[in-house]
Amino acid sequence: MSRKPRDKRMRIDEVVGTLESGMTVGIGGWGPRRKPMALVRALYRSDLTDLTVVSWGGADVGLLARAGKIRKLVYAFVSLDSIPLEPNFQRARQSKSIAEIVELDEGMFQTGLRAAAHRLPFLPMRAGLGSDVLVNNPWIKTVTSPYDDREELVAVPSLELDVAFVHLNRADEHGNASYLGPDPYFDDLFCMAAKRAYVSVEQVTDTAGLTVDSPVQRLLLSRMMVEGVVETPNGAHFTTCTPDYERDEKFQKAYAAAAGGSDDDWQAFHDRFLAGDEASYQAAVRAFHEEQA
């Protein structure tokens, strides 16, 4: 007898309620592109601490660093693109408020996720050889090829995740999810590297709706990868979620000004945009743009 796949729809706070302090959290997206910001904001508001965060970072890393949530950060970069260095991240690095930092070459970062996805302790690659990545992270070892070439390679350690957060355009209630923009980034690797993965989306639709209006196959996540689905319209704000919306450049500038300003500047930003729930955040953003018009 066949069984219907289960309904995995959840609320934002239900997802964060499954987490515990001390976990390793992988956050998908890429810098200021399609970050699961609604889930990140809920994590920011939570009582969770002592987290290891693994990310091609943007405002996700900045917010969690400012809130003192991060004990260890594994990253390849942390940028807002038009603002090259994420200001809350910059502040955390300068104050040394993050206890442990692991900065990896982008290829090494990807390979570490692939190793975790394959449930391997490491994967070999050439990236990192002769660089300060190995100098600054002496615990990363090299291996010698067992074949005739005897080539020395970096043994990139597995980036195993307890939980992954990603944001896509559409999903069905079972956890199948698709992206509609130009780049899938590495969201599937984050999900496969994690014990549990949660996807937030602009729209939950029926399964047939995942490929409508799409000239190519855009299904990125299968339900086997996903523990929970959260419908969060505008949930990647203020990062991009092409084609649904692009980066909110005006709001990003306001965020960066508050992050780079005084403690009072940040407190005012927090009180206006981050102190309430996600609905309050979205309402405050609408009011901000009405003021700017």
Residues 134 and 270 in one domain: no
- 196 and 163 Cβ atoms separated by less than 8 Å: yes
**For residue 5, what pLDDT is reported?**
78
**For residue 218, what pLDDT is reported?**
85
Within-domain flag for 1: no
Residues 140 and 240 in one domain: no
Measured CA to CA in angstroms, residue 101 lies from 77, 93, 96, 262 at distances of 12, 9, 9, 25
**For residue 59, what pLDDT is reported?**
98
Residues 287 and 241 in one domain: yes
The alpha carbon of 36 is separated from its chain's Cα centroid by a whole number of angstroms, namely: 6
208 — pLDDT class (breaks 50, 70, 90): confident
Q: Per the structure, how many domains does the chain have? A: 2
Residue 48 structure tokens: 């969770």
pLDDT, one tens digit per residue, over 87-106 is: 999 999 999 999 999 999 99
Residues 88 and 129 in one domain: no
The whole domain housing 128 covers 122-157
- 104 and 131 Cβ atoms separated by less than 8 Å: no
Q: Report which residue type is found at 213.
A: D
Nearest 5°: phi and psi at 270? -60, -50
- Burial code (b: 16+ CB inside 10 Å, e: under 16) for 145-167 equals eeeeeeeebbbbbbbbbbbbbbb
Helical spans, DSSP H, in 2-129: 12-17, 37-45, 59-66, 87-95, 106-117
Within-domain flag for 38: yes
What contacts 131, CB < 8 A, 6 or more positions away? 105
Within-domain flag for 128: yes
pLDDT, one tens digit per residue, over 139-155 is: 999 999 999 999 999 99
**For residue 224, what pLDDT is reported?**
95
Residues 133 and 91 in one domain: no
Please provide the average confidence, as pLDDT, over all residues in the chain: 95
pLDDT, one tens digit per residue, over 227-281 is: 999 999 999 999 999 999 999 999 999 999 999 999 999 999 999 999 999 999 9
Within-domain flag for 82: yes
Within-domain flag for 113: no
The packing angle between helices 249-260 and 87-95, to 10°, is 20
Within-domain flag for 2: no
What contacts 187, CB < 8 A, 6 or more positions away? 28, 29, 34, 166, 167, 168, 179, 220, 221
Residues 288 and 174 in one domain: yes
**For residue 211, what pLDDT is reported?**
75
Q: Can you give the pTM of this predicted structure?
A: 0.95
**What stretch of H or E contains 101?**
strand 100-103
Residues 127 and 249 in one domain: no
Residues 216 and 267 in one domain: yes
Residues 189 and 84 in one domain: yes
Residues 188 and 223 in one domain: yes
